[in-house]
């Protein structure tokens, strides 16, 4: 008896390509028909007559379907994609300045090209998957991160003071990889309407312990900052509680440091003092500050000739110095600008996003990305002390590539579905 | 009409237009179309936005627009929804789902647009008054 109604609805939605839009349009039009049929029946029409009349009143299903399809096309941010493309290409440049042996035979250049391919795959993968599905995997991500932590602590080999778990030649798990998985885990957990600030805080304290015992200072700092931001955004009603918790934590932490001030390792103290006064530590901890400054000031607008230069970490943490020295401040400055524009654009598009979970994802991603980008730049010019943070897009390294690609992909996923998201409110609640 | 023209008309009715009868239904549709031309997009937009100062479902809007005498969506009620979805894309209105029912309400952008339009209308009216020396509804 209701076939005509569903026939009409199916015909309209057959023109709509997007699955989510199909569902929402069908639901809305179904409700309309339902109401209109009821109204006509009150006017005295029989059920069949009312149904027929209501459908006729709707107008041409074909034209309507075509228009709905035009209105509900998924969105893509071409400008952002272009910016990411350009800055990814710039990321190849530091590796071109290596001697040919290192470049090809040690595999740096081919690996970078490969990592760009992986980057595109990850971006597209995350864009395609509806971000709302993340919530289902919250337990999985947390368990995965704990497994990774255990592997690194139990079976990791120490390289340069940090433990790495080797999966295969070239593929290692570091504490930074754990950070990436934990970032996903937190997004998934906080995307759930059932998330609680209490359990979240407990989870934070437990997990940050890992980064502290590695020890990975930069990861600890980033982790606490990013999760702090996520909790701040996610629980707006509990901000006072949150501030009190942070304050008490700072008090406890400072007391701990104060009590144990004698046992702070000499080298850690040295590193801090070297930042404040590099000249006094010219031969060890202060060397990088002085060297970076010198190289950057010699770069000029278009860079210096000279192949391999005396620069450590020239393809990772200090890749920016390498880039600027060889290609000049014109390119260096442009790179900084582009990196910041990418963050700024994602923030600007935030106003288009109504879904709270989508907003959380973008804010979290922009925070994680900007923290690293800004800190690295400030670090190489000597404004902040050195900690091991690489420059997204420019620095070499698969773990970094995976992380920023994930952030871009998640943004595109949220952006794509901005018009297709269902904003619900409880009865009675309104602005 | 001239005899020759009458002959032409008859010939065309018999041959060319034989398969395109000007039925009553077509007459009615054309008349509706002509009436609707007077209801331009801006006019309809103004009414819809004004009605959405309160939160309403699409179905409620249809009834209200009909009550106001708007003919735009007669026999084409589905296209109100297309219009609403377009306005939502333009951020003039926003939608909320409550218990499986979708309703719409104004955004601040939409409110500003409506105010601008109302101001324009007022100016037009006062000019008309001056020119025609009377009051209008």
B38-78 pLDDT per residue, tens: 668 888 999 999 999 999 999 999 999 999 988 889 999 99
| Residue of A28, A59, A60 with shortest CB distance to B102 | A28
| A:136-165 residues touching chain B, CB 8 A cutoff | none
Strand order in the sheet with B101-106: B56-57, B101-106, B93-98
What does pLDDT average to over chain B? 83
Residues of A in contact with B58 (CB under 8 A): 28, 32
Share of chain A above pLDDT 90, in %: 54
Report the C-alpha dihedral over residues A223, A229, A234, A239, rounded to 10 degrees.
120
Interatomic CA distance for residues B137 and A267, integer angstroms = 86
Q: From its phi and psi, is residue B69 left (phi > 0), alpha (psi between -120 and 50) or beta?
A: left
What is the pLDDT at residue A74? 85
The secondary structure of chain A, three-state, reads CCHHHHHHHHHHHCCCCCHHHHHHHHHHHHHHHHHHHHHHHHCCCCHHHHHHHHHHHHCCHHHHHHHHHHHCCCCCCHHHHHHHHHHHHHCCHHHHCCCHHHHHHCCHHHHHHHHHHHHHHHHHHHHHCCHHHHHHHHHHHHHHHHHHHHHHHHHCEEECCEEEEEEECCEEECHHHHHHHHHHHHHHHHHCCCCCHHHHHHHHHHHHHHHHHCCCHHHHHHHHHHHHHHHHHHCHHHHHHHHHHHHHHHHHHHHHHHHCHHHCCHHHHHHHHHHHCHHHHCCCCCHHHHHHHHHHHHCCCCCCCCCCCCCCCCCCCCHHHHHHHHHCHHHHHHHHHHHHHHHHHHHHHHHHCCCHHHHHHHHHHHHHHHHHHHHHHHHHCCCCCCCCCCCCCCCCCHHHHHHHHHHHHHHHHHHHCCCCCCCECCCCCCC
CA-to-CA distance for A112 and A315, rounded, in angstroms? 11
Contacts of A392 by beta carbon, 8 Å cutoff, 6+ apart: A339, A369, A372, A373, A400, A403, A404
Rounded to the nearest angstrom, the minimum Cα separation between B73 and chain A is 9
* Number of continuous H segments (helices) and E segments (strands) in chain A: 19, 3
**pLDDT of the residue at A19:** 86
- pLDDT above 70 covers a percentage of chain A that reads 93
Find all residues with CB under 8 Å of A397, minimum gap 6, and list them.
A115, A316, A390
Tell whether the model's pLDDT for residue A430 goes beyond 50. Answer: no
Tell me the backbone φ, ψ of residue A74, rounded to 5 degrees.
Answer: -65, 145
Q: Is B25 on the interface with A (CB under 8 A)?
A: no
Q: How many CB atoms lie within 10 A of CB A266?
A: 7
**Which chain B positions have a beta carbon within 8 Å of A426's beta carbon?**
98
The pLDDT assigned to B126 comes to 61
Q: Which token pair is A186?
A: 């937190």
Residues of A in contact with B105 (CB under 8 A): 430
Q: How far is B118 from chain A (nearest CA, A)?
A: 24
Query: Is residue A182 a contact partner of residue A146, using CB atoms and an 8 Å limit?
Result: no
Q: What single DSSP character describes residue A164?
A: E
* Set of chain A residues whose Cβ sits within 8 Å of the Cβ of B85: 68, 71-72
Q: How many CB pairs under 8 A join A and B?
A: 75
Q: Is A55 on the interface with B (CB under 8 A)?
A: no
Q: Which helix (H) or strand (E) holds B69?
A: none
pLDDT computed for residue A410 by the predictor = 98
Nearest to B78 among A64, A427, A430 (CB): A64
Phi, psi of B44 (to 5 degrees): -65, -40
Q: Which residue would you say has higher pLDDT here, A281 or A327?
A: A327
Cβ contact A425–B101 (<8 Å) = no
The reported pTM is 0.82
A422: number of Cβ within 10 Å: 15
Is A59's Cβ below 8 Å from some Cβ in B? yes
- Can you tell me the mean pLDDT for A418-430? 70
Look at B100 and A61 and tell me if their CB atoms are within 8 Å: no
pLDDT confidence of residue B43: 86
Q: What is the pLDDT of residue B14?
A: 82
What span, in angstroms and rounded, lies between the C-alpha atoms of A214 and A207?
Answer: 12
Asked if A36 is an interface residue toward chain B (Cβ–Cβ < 8 A), one would say yes
Under 8 Å between Cβ of B103 and B95: yes
Which residue reads 């391919």 in tokens? A117
Give the chain B residue nearest A34 (alpha carbons).
Answer: B59
- pLDDT at position A310 over 90: no
> Edge-to-edge strand order for the sheet containing A157-159?
A157-159, A162-168, A171-173
Mean pLDDT, chain A, rounded, equals 88
Judge: B88–A68 Cβ closer than 8 Å, yes or no: no
Whether A29 sits inside 8 A of B86 (CB atoms) is no
- Measured in Å, how far apart are chain A's first and last C-alpha atoms? 41
User: What is the pLDDT at residue B1?
Assistant: 64
Q: Nearest by CB to B97, which of A71, A419, A422?
A: A422
* Tens-place pLDDT, residues A342-376: 999 999 999 889 899 999 999 999 999 999 999 99
DSSP H stretches of helix in chain B? 3-14, 24-37, 41-51, 58-67, 78-89, 108-132
Asked if B28 reaches chain A (Cβ–Cβ under 8 Å), the answer is no
Q: A405 or B36: whose pLDDT is higher?
A: A405
Name which of A213-217, A347-351, A401-405, B81-85 the model is least confident about: A213-217
ipTM for the whole predicted complex goes beyond 0.90: no
Distance CA A380, CA A382 (A): 5
Percent of chain B at pLDDT > 70 equals: 82
CA distances from residue A245 to A13, A201, A207, A231, A252 in whole angstroms, order as listed = 51, 9, 17, 12, 11
- pLDDT given at position A337: 97
Inform me whether the pLDDT recorded for A425 exceeds 80.
Answer: no
B54 in A contact zone (CB under 8 Å) = no
When CB atoms are compared, the residue of A24, A59, A426 closest to B79 is A59
Chain A residues whose CB is inside 8 A of the B81 CB are 25, 28-29, 32, 64, 68
B36 touches chain A (CB under 8 A): no
Which region among A85-89, A154-158, A273-277, A339-343 has the lowest average model confidence (pLDDT)? A273-277
pLDDT of residue A363: 97
Q: How confident is the model at residue A426 (pLDDT cuts 50, 70, 90)?
A: low
Q: What pLDDT, in 10s, does the model give residues A271-288?
A: 777 788 877 777 777 788
Query: Would you state the pLDDT for residue B124?
Result: 62
Partner-chain contact B102 A64, CB within 8 Å? no
Q: What is the pLDDT of residue B137?
A: 43
Q: Does A42 touch chain B (CB under 8 A)?
A: no
Question: Which of B76, B77, B111 is best to mutate for the A interface (most A CBs within 10 A)?
Answer: B77
Closest Cα partner for A235 from A201, A185, A184?
A201
Q: Is the pLDDT of residue A431 over 60?
A: no
Following DSSP, what letter does each residue of A119-152 receive, concatenated? HHHHHHHHHHS-GGGGGGGHHHHHHHHHHHHHHH
| pLDDT band, residue B136 (cuts 50/70/90) | very low
A217's CB contacts (< 8 A; 6+ apart) are A387, A388
Supply the DSSP symbol for B134. S
Distance from CA of B46 to the nearest CA of A (A): 21
C-alpha closest to that of B71 among B118, B29, B27: B29
């Amino acid at each position: 008896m209701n076939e005509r109604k569903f026939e009409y609805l199916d015909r309209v939605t057959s023109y709509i390509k997007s699955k989510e839009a199909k569902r929402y349009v069908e639901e809305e039009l179904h409700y309309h028909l339902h109401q209109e049929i009821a109204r006509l029946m009150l006017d005295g029409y029989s059920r069949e007559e009312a149904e027929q009349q209501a459908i006729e009143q709707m107008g041409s299903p074909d034209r309507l379907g075509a228009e709905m399809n035009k209105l509900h096309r998924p969105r893509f941010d071409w400008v952002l994609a272009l910016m990411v493309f350009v800055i990814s290409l710039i990321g190849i440049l530091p590796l071109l300045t290596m001697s040919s042996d290192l470049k090809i035979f040690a595999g740096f250049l081919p690996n970078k090209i490969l990592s760009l391919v992986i980057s595109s795959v990850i971006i597209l993968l995350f864009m395609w998957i509806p971000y709302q599905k993340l919530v289902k995997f919250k337990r999985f991500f947390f368990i995965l991160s704990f497994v990774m932590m255990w592997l690194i602590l139990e079976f990791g080999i120490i390289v340069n003071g940090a433990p790495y778990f080797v999966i295969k030649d070239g593929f290692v798990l570091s504490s930074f990889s754990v950070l990436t998985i934990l970032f996903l885990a937190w997004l998934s957990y906080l995307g759930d309407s059932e998330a609680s600030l209490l359990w979240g805080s407990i989870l934070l304290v437990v997990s940050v312990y890992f980064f502290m015992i590695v020890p990975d200072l930069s990861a600890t700092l980033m982790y606490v900052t990013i999760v702090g931001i996520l909790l701040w955004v996610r629980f707006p009603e509990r901000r006072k509680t949150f501030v009190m918790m942070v304050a008490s934590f700072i008090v406890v932490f400072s007391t701990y440091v104060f009590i144990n001030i004698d046992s702070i390792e000499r080298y850690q103290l040295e590193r801090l003092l070297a930042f404040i006064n590099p000249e006094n530590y010219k031969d060890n901890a202060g060397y990088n500050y002085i060297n970076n400054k010198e190289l950057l000031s010699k770069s000029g607008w278009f860079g210096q000739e000279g192949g391999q230069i005396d620069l450590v970490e020239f393809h990772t943490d200090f890749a920016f110095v390498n880039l600027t020295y060889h290609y000049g401040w014109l390119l260096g400055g442009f790179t900084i600008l582009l990196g910041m524009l990418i963050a700024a654009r994602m923030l600007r598009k935030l106003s288009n996003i109504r879904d709270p979970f989508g907003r959380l994802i973008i804010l979290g991603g922009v925070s994680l990305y900007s923290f690293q980008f800004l800190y690295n730049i400030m670090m190489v010019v000597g404004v902040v002390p050195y900690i091991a943070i690489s420059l997204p897009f420019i620095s070499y390294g698969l773990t970094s590539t995976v992380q920023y690609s994930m952030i871009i992909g998640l943004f595109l996923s949220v952006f794509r579905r901005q018009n297709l998201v269902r904003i619900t409110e409880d009865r009675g609640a309104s602005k | 009409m001239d005899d020759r023209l009458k002959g032409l008309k008859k010939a065309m009715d018999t041959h060319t237009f034989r398969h395109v009868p000007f039925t009553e239904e077509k007459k009615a549709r054309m008349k509706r179309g002509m009436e609707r031309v007077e209801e331009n997009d801006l006019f309809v937009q103004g009414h819809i936005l004004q009605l959405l100062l309160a939160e309403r479902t699409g179905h409620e809007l249809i009834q209200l627009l009909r009550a106001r005498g708007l003919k735009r969506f007669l026999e084409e009620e589905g296209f109100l929804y297309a219009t609403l979805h377009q306005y939502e894309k333009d951020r003039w209105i926003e939608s909320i789902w409550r218990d499986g029912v979708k309703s719409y309400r104004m955004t601040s952008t939409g409110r500003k647009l409506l105010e601008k339009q109302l101001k324009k209308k007022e100016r037009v009216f006062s000019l008309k008054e001056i020119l025609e020396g009377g009051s209008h509804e």
